[in-house]
């Protein structure tokens, strides 16, 4: 049987049998477990499924039904041999692991995934997905750029900086304070349509305004970080559509130096597969 179906079958069998509550001592890091689970979508590695709590798994992808049964049902729908997974970056913050991944999953996609762990097992999952596009005006892709984690002792201050930028600039619109967050025009951009630098960001926002397209951030829901990397999860509207923003920032010397993002339109309630909410 092909690997995707084997993985889906293992998910469903775990639902029937329940998890092994007698062995919750982690033998690998939570980050390694999350990456293994993501890779199992392609490889069908059944050992990785033990990292998910089969009796308590809350899903926030609105197009996937709750629990392991919902995830298994999605895997069974994948065309044979179509699933590809390349985890480009992975980070750990307390009980949370967040990752930046290149997928072939019902078509090429860029995605961020967040996993919450309890007693060494995954109990909750959030994500944001978008189509893979051609390089942006500066020739950068949605995945290239820095990957090295450093400055672990600055994790909390870097989280405060990134959250401050989103709240002050994107939510409150206090553009006069941009200089507090950037080193002049030195800013590497991986958004598909925006060029490098604050000048590139300004040009893109001006172009959106001329087209009558608004990008509104209303509320920050989650801030996670490890060292010089911080992921900020926010809710707002883009072009009038209810939107989920996942922004990954790399901080260098107390300033935002690099940015990746995934922007996803939030499904209306009538199309959702569960009532857990996006956030």
Q: Above 70 in pLDDT, residue 85? A: yes
Q: What is the pLDDT of residues 129-182, one digit of tens each?
A: 999 999 999 999 999 999 999 999 999 999 999 999 999 999 999 989 988 999
205-220 as b/e, with b when 16 or more CB fall inside 10 Å?
eeebeeeeeebebeeb
Q: What is the pLDDT of residues 216-239, one digit of tens each?
A: 999 999 999 999 999 999 999 999
Q: What is the pLDDT of residues 167-207, one digit of tens each?
A: 999 999 998 998 899 999 999 999 999 999 989 988 888 88
Which CATH code fits 3-132?
3.10.450.50
DSSP lists the bridge partners of residue 245 as 234, 263
Per-domain boundaries in the chain: 3-132, 152-265
CA atoms within 13 A on the CB side of 218: 10
Q: What is the pLDDT of residues 96-108, one digit of tens each?
A: 999 999 999 899 9
Task: Please determine whether the domains at 3-132 and 152-265 fall in the same fold group of CATH.
Answer: yes
Fold classification of 152-265 (topology level): Nuclear Transport Factor 2; Chain: A, (3.10.450)
């Amino acid at each position: 049987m092909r690997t995707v179906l084997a993985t889906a079958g293992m998910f469903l069998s775990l639902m029937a049998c329940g998890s092994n509550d007698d062995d919750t001592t982690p033998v690998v890091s939570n980050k390694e477990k999350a990456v293994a689970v993501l890779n199992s979508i392609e490889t069908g590695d059944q050992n990785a499924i033990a990292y998910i709590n089969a009796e308590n798994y809350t899903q926030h992808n609105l197009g996937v039904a709750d629990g392991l049964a919902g995830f298994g049902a999605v895997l069974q729908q994948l065309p044979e041999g179509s699933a590809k997974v390349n985890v480009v970056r992975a980070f750990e913050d307390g009980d949370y692991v967040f990752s930046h991944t290149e997928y072939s999953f019902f078509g090429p996609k860029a995605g961020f995934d967040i996993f919450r762990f309890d007693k060494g097992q995954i109990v909750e999952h959030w994500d944001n997905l978008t189509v893979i596009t051609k390089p942006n005006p500066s020739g950068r892709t949605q995945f290239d750029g820095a990957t090295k984690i450093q400055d672990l002792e600055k994790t909390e201050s870097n989280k405060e900086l990134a959250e401050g930028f989103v709240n002050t600039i994107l939510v409150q619109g206090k553009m006069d304070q941009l200089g507090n967050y950037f080193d002049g025009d030195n800013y590497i951009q991986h958004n598909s349509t925006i060029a490098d630098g604050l000048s590139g960001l300004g040009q893109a926002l001006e172009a959106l305004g001329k087209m009558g397209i608004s990008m509104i951030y209303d509320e920050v829901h989650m801030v996670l970080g490890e060292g010089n990397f911080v992921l900020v999860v926010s809710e707002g509207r883009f072009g009038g559509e209810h939107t989920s923003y996942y922004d990954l920032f790399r901080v260098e010397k107390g300033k935002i130096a690099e940015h990746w993002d995934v922007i996803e339109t939030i499904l209306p309630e009538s199309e959702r597969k569960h009532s857990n909410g996006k956030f």
